[in-house]
Chains A and B, each alone.
Chain A
Amino acid sequence: MFLTTEEEQSLQGENGEAVQLAMSVLVKLGEMYGADRMIQIENVHVDASSYYGISDAGMEFVEKMAEMGAAYKVPTTLCISSIDFEKHADFGVSKECVEKQLRIARAHSTMGANPTWTCTPYQCGSSVKIGQNIAWGESNAIAFVNSVIGARTIRCADFVDICAAITGLMPEFDLYLDDQRKGSVLVKLEGLDTRQFTSADYAALGYYVGGVADSRVPVLEGVSKSVSTDQLKAFSAAVSTSGSIGLFHMSEITPEARNLDEAFGGEKPSETMVFGKDELREVRRSLATEDGADPEIAILGCPHYSLEELAETAQLLKNKRVSPDKQLWVFTNKCGKQEAEQKGILGKITESGAKVICDTCFILFPTPAWELGSIATDSAKMAHYAPGLGEFRVSFLDKEQCIESVTK
């Protein structure tokens, strides 16, 4: 792998211990993937941010980097935390978890991170553009930023994102390269009008596509241009849960697929699949566990709900109360929460008895709610991971049905 004089000096430790460690990780990664050189990146989203995700060792790594004088060289946002920074006291999170999360937050802040605490930095905190090289962690964010925005990142693993932020560099391989961004498999929608699709339908579509494409770049044909940003978010989260997908194209919708020919880079698809009414029904059924019924808690906001989704939730909750023996939790980020507060939307949600939780995610937020037996969600990602978390029974429903299932 070719290194410039400056990169070589960083690797030899001339720019400090932290930069040396970061460079040695990136060079090794590049060698393993056969990269020819390093490229400059302009933005990082760090997934190594929650205590429950990275454990004590991850915390010690972040603290050690900060102690060694590391500083983030490019704008760097943070993924979710294991606590709601303002309201953790309301949720029975252990003192140890709170203290250690605060230590992680301090170390990232010392290095200059923007404390966004969200899995949707593309809706809160990051402004990246088509064609920019970036280094992002968190699967939904990676799929969205590559596919919907057209910026370029590989699927960064934990700590690689931190090394990229410290050096402003990444080895050039995989999705940084034009020929790796070409479509490979075609999924044709037939007999479906996606203008009628809910976010949960888009999540089911994504879950199907990820499963059949596995680690190839899928291209979709037949999705209506009416698809919203939030629906593309639901799709991104699902497609990257069931498959190792960092990039997809939707013909005539996403920026690198102005038409089918462009999506495939002038080549033919290696395989073509059809997604119709039967597939949609079957995927939606498979996302629920067989015994999924009578949910005790409904989880919305995976990935984090935007202002628009919070507004819709408030609307659906009009004249409803969360049942006394049930719960409704809505996850969002600071941007969503603050704007919803200013517009009076937040109050409309909470006065129904629902909780709006900021900065974190049900899966990485260790509360006594993990002991519950049955959840409802509109997220394919949550439906996929929840059964492994606490052996939850899962109902996979549209947002409206989720709300109905826990309210009166």
Chain B
Amino acid sequence: MESSPIRCNTLLPGVARGTALVTSQPICFWGGFDPKTGTITERNHELKGQNVTGTVFVFPTGKGSSTTSAILLESVRCGTAPAAIVNLKTEPILVIGAIIAERLYDRVIPIVDTPELDLTKVIKTGDWIEVNASENEGWIHLRR
């Protein structure tokens, strides 16, 4: 079943599909994520042990480190990055990592945020999602 598409704000344009991996807890890329394997490693995180590779990764926001850009870039290099990222509010530094990844490894990771609904409640882990983000607007298509 496909529900009506959800509009959001494009930070990095592109099209990607994948299985959703959803959390309502912020993600800390530096020290909480292993770019070599794509696994969430943060102690006490509800996604600890889960792998983000190839997923549409839905999380509210990042937790500050100035090294986030380097970790995302390393993850793309290792082939462990998510297919797309959906946030309530994206940390700009994450987008910087993704822009550089696009130029260095020719790999686009669309990033969208501020959806019209709280997606961390609407989307469940395992849902099939397409992110379709153009310069001007982004859409999320959800199939269950």
Q: Name the interface residues of A51-68: CB closer than 8 Å to any CB of B.
A: 53-58, 60-61, 64
Q: Can you list 29 residue pairs at the A/B interface with Cβ under 8 Å?
A: A21-B100, A21-B103, A24-B99, A28-B95, A29-B92, A32-B11, A32-B90, A33-B92, A53-B67, A54-B70, A56-B74, A56-B77, A57-B70, A58-B70, A60-B104, A139-B66, A156-B66, A157-B67, A157-B68, A157-B69, A158-B66, A158-B67, A158-B69, A159-B69, A159-B73, A159-B96, A159-B100, A160-B69, A160-B93
Complex: A29 Cα to B69 Cα, angstroms: 12
| 6 closest A-B pairs by CB | A57-B77, A57-B74, A57-B73, A157-B66, A55-B74, A157-B93
Pick the contact of B96: A29, A53, A139 (CB < 8 A): A29
Expressed in whole angstroms, the Cα–Cα distance for A44 and B32 within the complex equals 29
B 70-106 to A, binary, CB cutoff 8 A, 1 in contact else 0: 1101101110000000000010110111011101100
B31: CB under 8 A from chain A?
yes
Report B-chain residues with C-beta under 8 Å of the C-beta of A137: 66
Q: Closest chain B residue to A139 by CB distance?
A: B66
Q: Which residues of A contact B71 (CB under 8 A)?
A: 55
Q: Which of A136-189 contact B (CB under 8 A)?
A: 137, 139, 155-160
A158 to B73 Cα, complex, angstroms: 11
- Chain A residue numbers with a CB within 8 Å of B73 are 55, 57-58, 61, 159
Residues in B whose Cβ lies below 8 Å from that of A54: 67, 70
Interface membership of A388, Cβ < 8 A:
yes
Q: Give the distance in Å from the alpha carbon of A66 to the alpha carbon of B73 in the complex.
A: 18
Which chain A positions have C-beta within 8 A of B99? 24-25, 28
**Chain A interface residue count, Cβ-Cβ cutoff 8 angstroms:** 28
- Most chain B CB inside 10 Å of its own CB: which residue of A33, A54, A139, A158: A158
Contact residues in A for B97 (Cβ distance below 8 Å): 159
A47 at the interface (CB under 8 A from B): yes
Which residues of chain A come closer than 8 Å to B76, judged between CB atoms?
57
Q: Could you tell me if B95 and A32 are in contact, using CB atoms closer than 8 angstroms?
A: yes
Question: Across the interface, which residues of B come within 8 angstroms of A33, CB to CB?
Answer: 92
- Digitize B52-71: 1 where CB-to-A-CB distance is under 8 Å, 0 elsewhere: 00000000000010111111
State the CA gap A403–B67 with chains docked (Å): 32
Interface residues of A in 11-51 (CB under 8 A from B): 21, 24-25, 28-29, 32-33, 47-48
Interface set of A (CB-CB < 8 Å, partner B): 21, 24-25, 28-29, 32-33, 47-48, 53-58, 60-61, 64, 137, 139, 155-160, 244, 388
Cβ distance A85 to chain B, nearest Cβ, rounded Å: 22
> Which residues of chain B from 105 to 141 have a CB within 8 Å of any chain A CB?
none
Q: Considering the complex, give the chain A residue whose CB is closest to the CB of B97.
A: A159
Chain A residue with minimal CB distance to B35? A55
Q: Chain A's nearest CB lies how many Å from the CB of B64? A: 6
With A55-B71, A57-B73 already in contact, 20 other A-B pairs whose C-beta atoms are closer than 8 Å: A25-B96, A28-B95, A29-B92, A32-B11, A32-B92, A32-B95, A48-B70, A53-B70, A58-B70, A58-B74, A61-B73, A155-B66, A157-B93, A157-B96, A158-B66, A158-B67, A159-B70, A159-B97, A159-B100, A244-B64
* Shortest Cβ distance from B113 into A: residue: A32
Shortest CB distance B100–A (Å) = 6
Closest B residue to A32 by beta carbon equals B92
Most buried by B among A24, A32, A48, A137: A32
Q: How far is the CA of A139 from the CA of B30 in the complex (A)?
A: 15
Task: Name which residue of chain B comes closest to A60, CB basis.
Answer: B104
A222 to B42 CA separation, bound complex (whole angstroms) = 39
CB-CB nearest in chain A for B90:
A32
Task: Name the A residues within 8 Å of B64 (CB-CB).
Answer: 244
Q: Which residues of chain B are near A21, meaning CB under 8 Å?
A: 100, 103
Q: How far is the CA of A55 from the CA of B33 in the complex (A)?
A: 14
Residues of chain B with a CB closer than 8 A to A157's CB: 66-69, 92-93, 96
Q: Are B77 and A60 in contact (CB under 8 A)?
A: yes
Q: Which residue, B64, B67, B77, B78, has most C-beta atoms of chain A within 10 A?
A: B67
Q: Is the CB of B70 within 8 A of A160?
A: no
A48 vs B96: C-alpha distance when bound (angstroms):
14
Closest to A58 in B: B70
Measured between C-beta atoms, what is the minimum distance from B81 to chain A in Å?
Answer: 11
